[in-house]
Chain A
């Protein structure tokens, strides 16, 4: 047995671009996602600078429309949806279940290439002149009235969808077939339960998006009346199809985040997750009910009032399993031994931000209030609390938590905590004022606005400046640690998960001997009470 790990087996470029090692593919995804995150983030920064004043001083209306469309498309499809599943998930899933790799290693590599093809297609649309439809591609604007690169951008998203489906399939088969001896379903870490639920949504919902984008292309190219009423189509049909995918997609984004939080809360309070089975099944419940709420995006669209009633009811119901999770995380802290390491700070921030995002989701599920708030900044604030406050915070938490496993190095705890606190502060300053803006009635997607909205917009833009700096910080201290950080032990946090039972970074095929599982997850009781290494 040599002491080579997956990073040092080979150094050639070919060994990276033709690898079938899930860990290396995770690194490929990671590098691509950082790239997309900063493109989307740059667009967001430009948007917030423009909105600091009521006039259009920085960009024209057309440029602004292209900016927010690019921000949305890149962030949703090329960062949020693949982030945790394709980087952390790809890296950790086989390690967590004691497997040598994912079930289909070559399919995994292919998924990355498809993802990059989709990403490059979309980038081409942006470089060639941009898209101005908004990430929702609402018809008939997108099919008949937009003079921008709608088809190219939609093609990029369409291609990336195949990557999602293949990754989802790969995870489902892996979790079913490759678990180590003794690893029963109820011994599975909760991160895997949530990735499993996510994968089910990916496989079932993404094809609907693909069909919808194909229909847009059909109408644009051949003038077939599908969505345009002038030639016999129905504009609301598009919204039904689009949200049938895109609402479950929100759960694709948040469920993996919730999964990460289970690992973090449990590790840093040295205690098993309270109500394991409730949390596990809550993931599947969210995935299942999440398919039945799409109509809550259409309460003012003119759909039947009865339909709105049913969708509103289902939207309240889907909040119940999310509430269960929040209460269970809080109860996990009770009688724990809590360490405030950087990942734990992210986890605590997640609970707060996700709860605010979730509660304001109820405001929007509540029919009469939604009539006022929908399509205003209230909605913008709400989904940023879920997606950025929730998902991105969880991603950063998970990244710090597994960083020593991925790189074999420890990062600076001081800088990591500073960044976590700054992100929390900057985030709230950016997005909380937007709730107030929305409640006062400022519509979204406006680059000029009546002057009475300026105060809150200035606060929001100021917060965005802090947030931008805070999101850049990990790039430096994590980047530094990857090369010069202290060496990490196999199990720096002293956690009981299988992924910590092999060296850091792991060898090419993960384990030198096949692990056997004999107990439930999160057993911090006996051997795992010692301090984390970084503390």
Chain B
């Protein structure tokens, strides 16, 4: 019973969160040592050198700068150690995710909309299999939100105008809080959902039960034709535009001599800001779609173009 009342610390539920917990423990111990020493000295001095106490106060102003150099150096070395430790775990947390199982997250005032590649979409919930790394591709429709799962010690801002990649992995099945951590307006506190981690078999069942209308890539294909993209980028088009088959994940030579890997961000930018990165030997003819399509539609287009990766160009 008391554990429900004092739920002080639940262990993290992923390999990374274990590292963060260890780091937290390290920070707590280091702080406790410093605080303990400080409070001990303060108490000691306050008792021993209180005004009405006859203590030895000879050489009261004699001082040596060795002390200051000593504690300056000690603080510096201690801080350096904590810095290196924290940084190394940080780089693991935010390492570029593997492209295994993608989930697309659109944040908007005030809900989380998540979509699996098969088209299963959820509001304020995300079902994932345990012990498998899942890559989230996150975008915001309006203001800055922040995707925060305390149980995983993981958080990333979702900034409008760009995709954020984040890798998550959960060790144990269960329901975990998903919060919006960046203040986003009226219903900020209501922008919470849950992460449902399931055994892989249960997860497959869940995916099939959700009976999607159509996979996201198919919906993207429909949009691709509706928005007129196929007029230039489709086969047999008269306008000379870069072919999109087999494009995803490959380096693209640009007209300024550099090259860029065709990832989600590149495709997104090419749709919204087509003249910023023009493919070598093509004319900058494409109009911008900024303001004309929503984040949801953009995601579907990106997924559609990604689905063409397997096709030969």
Contacts and interface: CB of A to CB of B under 8 A. Distances in A.
B46 interface: yes
A375 B67 contact: no
Given A324-B72, A366-B86, A525-B61, A371 B20 contact: yes
B261 interface: no
B230 interface: no
A359 B31 contact: yes
Contacts of A328: 68
Closest 10 A/B residue pairs (Cβ): A229-B161, A441-B150, A366-B86, A368-B89, A367-B90, A333-B45, A375-B181, A446-B189, A372-B153, A316-B79
B154 to A, nearest CB: 7
B8 A366 contact: no
B123 interface: no
Given A330-B41, A348-B42, A441-B148, A140 B143 contact: yes
Interface string B146-177: 10101101111101111010000000000001
Interface of B: 4-10, 19-20, 23-24, 27, 31, 34-35, 38-39, 41-42, 45-46, 49-51, 55-61, 63, 65, 67-68, 71-72, 75-76, 79-80, 82-83, 85-94, 109, 142-144, 146, 148, 150-151, 153-157, 159-162, 164, 177, 179-190, 192, 290-291
Nearest to A299: B90
Contacts of B291: 230
B189 A449 contact: yes
Given A62-B186, A333-B49, A371-B93, 15 more contacts: A145-B142, A301-B159, A302-B157, A312-B83, A316-B79, A333-B46, A335-B49, A340-B50, A363-B27, A368-B90, A375-B182, A439-B24, A444-B183, A448-B190, A450-B177
Given A305-B91, A333-B45, A372 B186 contact: no
Contacts of B34: 355, 359
Contacts of A365: 83, 86
Nearest to A65: B186
A330 B45 contact: yes
A338 B46 contact: yes
27 contacts: A65-B185, A140-B143, A271-B60, A272-B61, A278-B65, A312-B86, A313-B83, A330-B42, A334-B45, A336-B60, A337-B51, A337-B57, A340-B46, A352-B39, A352-B42, A363-B24, A366-B83, A367-B90, A368-B88, A369-B23, A369-B86, A372-B154, A375-B155, A375-B182, A376-B150, A376-B181, A445-B188
Contact of B49 (A300, A316, A336, A366): A336
A452 B5 CA distance: 8
Which among A145, A146, A320, A367 has the highest number of chain B CB atoms within 10 Å?
A367
Nearest to B192: A450
B179 A336 contact: no
Contact of A371 (B90, B142, B162, B290): B90
